[in-house]
Amino acid sequence: MVRKIKDIMTDEIETVKPTDSAHDIALKMKRHDTGFMPVVEGKKLLGVVTDRDLVIRGMAEKKEGTATAEQLMSRDIKTVEPETSVDEAAKIMARGQIRRLPVVENGELIGVVSIGDMAVRHIFESEAGEALSEISESDKTNAVK
């Protein structure tokens, strides 16, 4: 049986609006223990703000007090549709060293799948296992730099 992303994705997602401040985003990340916030207008996915975006585009550019999600967000993000196979999503994640992948339907955010979703559900078959391994190795290498 080919597993689909819709079977393993998280569909209860915390989001931010384009006008939310960096401070509000950071508080929401802390409250929900995450480093990833999709930016939506209505349900339309515009981009994502990561903890790294807050540091690089906010603090390092001395905008942390005034920046909005729209100014901080990464816009060129990979997404998948709910019918995408888990193996295909894992390939996308491995190629792009992506830990979280938004799931969209007709441009609207309906879920997020993470490496953790795949691991928790014991989907270590083929590419899913490779994706987890490659991303973990990349983290170790980057931590040494």
pLDDT in tens, 113-139: 998 887 765 454 444 555 555 555 555
- Ramachandran region, residue 105 (left: φ > 0; alpha: ψ -120 to 50; beta: rest): beta
Reported as a pLDDT band with limits 50, 70 and 90, residue 141 is: very low
pLDDT in tens, 20-30: 999 899 999 99
What is the pLDDT averaged over residues 14-18? 96
Three-state SS letters, 34-86: CCEEEEEECCEEEEEEEHHHHHHHHHCCCCCCCCEHHHHCECCCCCECCCCEH
Q: Which pLDDT score, from 0 to 100, does residue 120 have? A: 61
| DSSP-assigned letters across all residues of 126-142 | HHHHHHHHHHHHHHHHH
Parent domain of 93: 5-144
Residue 48: which CATH number? 3.10.580.10
Number of domains in the chain: 1
pLDDT in tens, 47-106: 999 998 888 877 656 665 678 999 999 998 999 999 999 889 988 988 888 889 999 999
